[in-house]
Structure 1
Amino acid sequence: MKFCKKYEEYMQGQKEKKNLPGVGFKKLKKILKKCRRDHAPSRIAFNESINQQHGNNCPRECTVCDGNFFPELLKEMEDVVGWFNENAQKLLELHLASGFKKCLTWFKGNNRKKNHLGLIQEGKDLVNYALINAVAIRKILKKYDKIHESRQGQAFKTQVQKMRIEILQSPWLCELMAFHINLKESQKESGGVLASPALFDGCSLTFDDGKPLLSCELSDSVKVDIDLTCSICLDTVFDPISLTCGHIYCYMCACSAASVSVVDGLKTADPSEKCPLCREVCVYKGAVHLDELGILLKRSCREYWEERRKTERAERLKQAKEYWDYQCRSFTGI
């Protein structure tokens, strides 16, 4: 079965359950087909010479495709990533919620299966959605380059990666990976058997010469590797957060880089502050706290985690004292 047909069947099946955004394969292919018809050999002598060189393909520099294809695909990618992020966040917040908050969330979420297995199945559905859309985007861009005999599709992919709207770069995919491993570890610790679907077929946290790496093989051709070394303190990330550019740091290291105290938090960072790695601006205010990843790292390296916790607690108390001393002096004028 061709992937396009497989994708359409998958999306149709999902839309019967919920209205999911997706990649409009048929619509995007129509844009390319129309462009090829417009550049058919019968059009003008100039186009005849082009088609003799490129077959039935349209030119490499084609304003028709560029002006219609890429903006449409960009919008669809934004919708797909936005839906995935929103629903993954809700799922993981529910998993980590306290007793009262969890009951309240269950009560509001009328469409959710109100049991543990339902939670895991929803996570698996999200992972499948992320994978099939990642493959769909890759294939349609490959189709574009084949028609144009160019690398414009690859250049577009590089561009959206920099814009952080590529679904496999989502921090919530990282959280789902950690969620998956945490469930497996909890099962081992309890000695029970959980008859439930796995979120991933292959997912692991490894330490190579002390360097942590979160890896997942989503398919034969799609693999995600996430380096969990903070580039500021050069150690395993502690209390990890992901900036909007996608780079992961320790929370306190990120506060230091953003020139804010832990009391004020990253939301108060000046928009001009840059990511230490990619030098992007406006990356702190929308930072995502990676709670599931924090639980996983705490479980995997307990001694290191306890040592960092003591050190950071002392630093947080120091910064809190300095903050309130400053506030008191400002209030009293002393």
Structure 2
Amino acid sequence: MKFCKKYQEYILGKENQLPAVDFKKLKKILKKCREDFELHQEHDGQSCPHHCSVCDGTFFPSLLKEMSAVVGCFNERAQKLLELHLASGFRKYFMWFKGKLQKKHVAFIQEGKDLVTYALINAVAVRKILKKYDKIHYSKQGQAFKSKAQSVHIEILHSPWLCELMAFHINLTEAKIKSNKVPALFEGCSLNFDDDKPSLSCELFYSIKIDIDLTCSICLDTVFDPVSLTCGHIFCLMCACSAASVTIVDGLKAAEPKEKCPLCRKTGVYEGSLHLEELNILLSRSCHEYWEQRLKTERIERIRQVKEHWESQCREFVGV
């Protein structure tokens, strides 16, 4: 079965109408473009240029809008699912009372699996339609568009929520699930420590493979209390605060917009940073001794920063 038909069946088969890449419409735009240029080529003998008003005026704006809607929907649903899983204390009982925690662990995994399938099949749709664009236009504009999509945070395979779902799957499987009847969220999803370099990897359908490096590029150790910046790079919370010139008390949200990511040097990446709680749980279980050691070291540093913060506040209050 061709991908276009399979994709259409998938989208139409969803009970809830979810945002999607309009693969069929985009193919029609490209088909019209090719027919127009073939007609012109018969008259003037010119080959198809790298740019054309037909595609650039409708194709890319449509795709950009659809990708934005897809990644927004995915992030929102993943966030809600993981909030339910991580709920504790009074909030957990409140959610239970409202009936939101009646799901069994099997249902949690199935919902996560549905989310991942939704993300991946749309990622494949984008990959295939951009490949077709480049084939028709004899260009690399489709590949360049991928970089643009990543820079504006609508490349779904770079969403930090996908990383969180991977960690969520391993956490739930290892800690809660003992039955073989439970559906797998990912096939071959694992936390690896090859050559003492930690990574989260997963092999997915249509030859998509995700490898997430879990080494903090600042302290050069396994990320501790990890956070993902909006550019997609992951650091220890303490290291990220240091790079953003803020204290742990102020938090990353207080960083100036001009502050840059230590790796890609992009600005404005701290305000929308995400604390990777599922990944934090996974690493604390998998690297217990290392985690305890880092916890003691960072607790001392946190106490020092909190003390300096309150001393500064007191001096300002008394006018010293």
1:233 pairs, out of 219, 227, 232, with 219
Are 1:4 and 2:43 counterparts? no
- Listed as ranges, the matches of 1:129-168 within 5 Å are 129-168=118-157
Aligned length: 320
Are 1:206 and 2:204 counterparts? no
Distance 2:23 2:120 in 1: 16
The match for 1:172 is 161
Listed as ranges, the gaps of 5+ residues in structure 1 are: none
The code of the aligned residue for 1:10 comes to: Y
Give, in angstroms, the shift of residue 185 of structure 1: 1.7
1:299 pairs, out of 285, 288, 301, with 285
Decide whether the 8 Å contact of 1:187 with 1:194 is kept in 2: no
The match for 2:78 is 88
Decide whether the 8 Å contact of 1:244 with 1:283 is kept in 2: yes
Q: TM-score w.r.t. structure 1 length?
A: 0.91
SS in 2 for 1:214: strand
Give, in angstroms, the shift of residue 205 of structure 1: 0.7
- Listed as ranges, the matches of 1:1-334 within 5 Å are 1-14=1-14, 17-41=15-39, 45-46=43-44, 49-50=45-46, 53=47, 58-105=48-95, 114-187=103-176, 192-193=178-179, 195-334=181-320
CA distances 1:261-299 after superposition (whole Å, capped 9, x unpaired) = 111111111111010111111110110000000011001
Distance 1:272 1:264 in 2: 17
The code of the aligned residue for 1:226 comes to: I
Listed as ranges, the gaps of 5+ residues in structure 2 are: none
Give, in angstroms, the shift of residue 194 of structure 1: 5.7
CA distances 1:43-96 after superposition (whole Å, capped 9, x unpaired) = 8722xx13xx5xxxx533212111211111011111111110111011011100
SS in 2 for 1:39: helix
SS in 2 for 1:21: coil
Give, in angstroms, the shift of residue 150 of structure 1: 1.8
The code of the aligned residue for 2:216 comes to: C
- C-alpha distance 108-135 of structure 1, shift in aligned 2 (>3 A): farther
The code of the aligned residue for 1:6 comes to: K
Q: TM-score w.r.t. structure 2 length?
A: 0.95
Q: Identity, % of aligned pairs?
A: 69
SS in 1 for 2:39: coil
Give, in angstroms, the shift of residue 99 of structure 1: 4.6
Decide whether the 8 Å contact of 1:113 with 1:119 is kept in 2: no
Greater alpha carbon shift after TM alignment, 307-316 vs 179-188: 179-188
Decide whether the 8 Å contact of 2:105 with 2:172 is kept in 1: no
Q: CA RMSD in A?
A: 1.9
Give, in angstroms, the shift of residue 119 of structure 1: 1.5
